Amino acid sequence: MNPLLRTVAGLGTGWVAARGLAVASRLQAGHGETAAAKVHSRRSFTRNAALGASAVVLTQLGVTFGLLMWPHKTGAFGGDIPVGADNIPGVGEEPFRHQAGKFYLVRNEDGIQALYWKCVHLGCTVPWNAGTSHFQCPCHGSIFDVNGSRTGGPATRRLDRMPITVKEDGSITVTTNPNTIEEAAGRTDYLPTDATPYP
């Protein structure tokens, strides 16, 4: 819901709650009490009604503020990330690094892959080393070639991949949801089927 509408709804809810409690207080005050007791009872219920209404409004405002401050996942790691055709590397070119998505786009004759940069050993971020044309993990020395195959170090499988959807205009969408990341359990080498045909 629109935050403004949510705030208006909250104020409306508070007003309805206040009216309801005020009516309840009048009904209760009318049942066989002395005049002094009725006045005291009415004041007490009116005060409680006001407090209840205030609590409802403050809760609604708090929820609205919290939702406004909550970061949106659109375009960030965990969501679908669009990549323009201009950023798709050519065959044999250096990987394209996507900072927000935490992946590298690599391309060969079979197509493209979005390689998750989290090391499959113990989770360090794996940088691309342009000097050696390999991904080299700084933590314990695992090494992966440009296709993500493990070529050295303690890692026991190749780099993980993220699903790719290719669009007609040559742009792509990379799904960075951690639940859909594709692991090659126990496999250290690249297979042509790991790549998504492109274009």
Contacting positions for ligand FES (CB under 6 A): 119, 121-124, 137, 139-142, 153-155
- Tell me which residue of 7, 170, 193 sits closest to 15, measured CA to CA: 7
Name residue, tokens 């004041």: 43
Q: Select 121 or 158, whichever has its Cβ closest to ligand FES.
A: 121
Shortest Cβ 126–ligand FES spacing (Å):
6
Question: Backbone phi, then psi, for 92, in 5-degree steps?
Answer: 85, -5
Give the orientation angle of helix 35-69 with respect to helix 3-29, to 10 degrees. 170
Q: Select 45 or 144, whichever has its Cβ closest to ligand FES.
A: 144
Q: Select 45 or 104, whichever has its Cβ closest to ligand FES.
A: 104
Q: Select 59 or 156, whichever has its Cβ closest to ligand FES.
A: 156
Shortest Cβ 81–ligand FES spacing (Å):
24
Shortest Cβ 178–ligand FES spacing (Å):
17
CA gap 88, 104 in Å, rounded? 10
CA gap 163, 89 in Å, rounded? 17
Shortest Cβ 182–ligand FES spacing (Å):
19
